[in-house]
């Protein structure tokens, strides 16, 4: 059994022992500990604490659950001079992330058109494993997307500069090097722009159910009953291939640089090594692909609303509130041992949560902090939060990213046997479409922790602040 000691509000510590270089900090309320301890996620957080160059602590968010190498919900920052970069600390779905859109519409405005709207969205935003069909681009265009990110679709008429202003990193990171990509990753990128994918990815039409922070809600344009859209997807097969390509590279690098860790899934290379730099260049390409992917889906969502409602773009008014990235490693400035320095922050299933006045927070949000988007499940609710100064001090400006699973997909399907999940939701006024009945069954609400508890833990810990609750009306599942 791993010893968890109370550390601070809603934070528990695994003290540094053995070859651990730093302690592990697990953010959770006491009531959540049983669920969190039901798999090996805490052990994974402890394993991360052994990695060369790690700073302050191995951190895990309240939605922590088992993942590849790092736990999902894991955060770790490394010194660029002697630290490492790890694909397991980023994840297979590089820059999986969430965009939140607001509108001029109220819930009543779409009530009679909701089912048709969901059907059109289901047709316009392809879902499922290997989904394609939203648009097909050339290999040369994939290389441009990998460098230009969301700017590429905007330059081709998919959205506007106003979108870019409120996307993390403005929808594009520098340093994507297409020479570090395999032919296979380029091939997979030609058909998947504008597609949702599979698993827990989704597009949700919802509404603002509760507002808790009037000032922050006003800055975001949120009002009670407002129709909203959440888009949750990532870099698709392109990013998956980048991760897959570099895991074997990192495995060899571990031997080359004599790095010994408790779990081979933590395979890594020194940041300054050739292997580390090649992975970073390829990873940044996948980050940019994901930004572009969500930008195309956002555009096709806008046109779907306009067509179904017979309204002009101005009258629908679908605008981007903010877009956050999960599954990412980035070089940021943070305070370590009392002084600011550049660090390489791995966030795997965790959200950047920069506080008021912080670098890289858009001007319109400087006073309230960066918007933070926390999806729940398709039957309950999601939350909008803001980042805090406490997050900057304690978690390298990070917070949770969602509810977190409490059942495996196999267990969720077993629990759903004999039930009609789609009908259960329809009886509650929520229309669901999925690539298959199996997908819907795997994603039913009981398979997830209650996101309300996850958000509460982050608020008690002071690493984010709740702004609004959103409830679903129509959901497209991957």
CATH (residue range 5-477)? 3.90.1860.10
Out of 207, 232, 401, 444, the active site residue is 401
Indicate the SS3 state at residue 319.
strand
- 472 contacts 379 by C-beta, under 8 angstroms: yes
Known catalytic membership, residue 232: no
H/E element, 6: strand 5-8
Determine the pLDDT at residue 439: 82
Copy the structure tokens of residue 100.
């939140």
The pLDDT score that the predictor gives to residue 457 is 97
Q: At what angle do helices 274-309 and 114-124 cross, to 10 degrees?
A: 140
315 token code pair: 């009258």
Q: Which of 89, 84, 9 is nearest to 54 (CA)?
A: 84
**Residue 425 structure tokens:** 């939701």
Query: For residue 422, what are its two tokens?
Result: 């789609």
Q: Cα dist. 29→7, 12, 125, 155, 273 in Å?
A: 12, 9, 38, 46, 40
225 with 208: CB under 8 angstroms? yes
263 touches 319 (CB < 8 A): no
Residue 131: its pLDDT value, please? 75
The answer to whether 336 touches 56, Cβ cutoff 8 Å, is yes
The dihedral sign for the CA sequence 108, 110, 116, 119:
negative
How far apart CA 8 and CA 335 sit, in angstroms, is 19
Residue 176: C-alpha distances to residues 154, 173, 422 (Å):
18, 7, 41
User: 182: which residues sit within 8 A by CB, 6+ positions away?
Assistant: 241, 242, 245
Per-residue model confidence (pLDDT) at position 199: 81
Residues 320, 101: contact at Cβ < 8 Å?
yes
What pLDDT does 334 receive?
A: 97
Residue closest to 221 by CA, chosen among 384, 410, 41, 36: 384
Q: Please, which residues have CB within 8 angstroms of residue 478's CB and are 6 or more apart in sequence?
A: 127, 128, 131, 196, 197, 198, 199, 200, 201, 202, 233, 434, 435, 439
Structure confidence at residue 143 (pLDDT): 98
Counting as low any pLDDT under 50, the low residues of the chain are none
pTM tops 0.75, yes or no: yes
CA 20 to chain centre: 28
What pLDDT, on a 0 to 100 scale, did the predictor assign at position 321? 98
């Amino acid at each position: 059994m791993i010893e968890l000691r109370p550390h601070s509000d809603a934070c528990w510590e695994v003290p540094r022992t053995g070859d651990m270089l730093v302690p592990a900090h697990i953010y959770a309320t006491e009531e959540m500990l049983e669920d969190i301890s039901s798999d090996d996620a805490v052990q994974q957080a402890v394993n991360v604490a052994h990695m060369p160059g790690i700073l302050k602590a191995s951190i895990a968010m309240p939605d922590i659950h088992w993942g590849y190498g790092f736990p999902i919900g894991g955060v770790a920052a490394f010194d660029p001079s002697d630290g490492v970069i790890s694909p397991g600390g980023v994840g297979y779905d590089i820059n999986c992330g969430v965009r939140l859109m607001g509108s001029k519409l109220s819930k009543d405005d779409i009530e009679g058109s909701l089912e048709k709207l969901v059907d059109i969205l289901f047709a316009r935003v392809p879902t499922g494993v290997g989904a394609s069909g939203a648009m097909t681009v050339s290999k040369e265009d994939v290389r441009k997307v990998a460098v230009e990110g969301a700017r590429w679709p905007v330059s081709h008429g998919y959205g506007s500069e106003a979108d870019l202003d409120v996307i993390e990193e403005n929808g594009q990171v520098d340093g994507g090097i297409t020479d570090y990509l395999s032919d296979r990753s380029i091939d997979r990128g030609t058909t998947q722009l504008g597609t949702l994918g599979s698993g827990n990815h989704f597009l949700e039409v919802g509404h603002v159910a509760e507002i808790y922070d009037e000032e922050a809600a006003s800055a975001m344009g949120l009002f009670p009953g407002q129709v909203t859209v959440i888009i949750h997807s990532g870099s698709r097969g392109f990013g998956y291939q980048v991760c897959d390509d570099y895991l074997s590279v990192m495995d060899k690098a571990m031997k080359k640089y004599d790095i010994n860790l408790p779990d081979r899934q933590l395979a890594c290379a020194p940041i300054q090594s050739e292997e580390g730099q090649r992975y970073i260049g390829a990873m940044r390409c996948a980050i940019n692909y994901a930004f572009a992917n969500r930008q195309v889906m956002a555009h096709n969502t806008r046109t779907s609303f306009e067509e179904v409602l017979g309204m002009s773009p101005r009258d629908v008014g679908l605008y981007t509130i903010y877009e956050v990235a999960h599954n990412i490693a980035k070089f940021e400035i943070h305070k370590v041992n009392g002084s600011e320095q550049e660090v390489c922050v791995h966030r795997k299933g965790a959200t950047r949560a920069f506080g008021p006045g912080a670098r890289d927070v858009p001007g319109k949000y400087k006073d309230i902090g960066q918007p933070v988007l926390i999806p729940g499940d398709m039957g309950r609710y999601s939350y909008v939060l803001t980042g805090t100064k406490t997050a900057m001090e304690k978690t390298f400006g990070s917070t949770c990213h969602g509810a977190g699973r409490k059942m495996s997909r196999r267990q969720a399907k077993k629990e759903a046997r004999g039930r009609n999940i789609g009908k259960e939701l329809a009886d509650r006024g929520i229309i669901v479409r999925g690539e298959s009945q199996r997908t819907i069954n795997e994603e039913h609400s009981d398979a997830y922790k209650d996101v309300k508890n996850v958000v509460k833990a982050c608020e008690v810990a002071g690493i984010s602040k709740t702004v609004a609750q959103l409830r679903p009306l129509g959901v497209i599942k991957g």
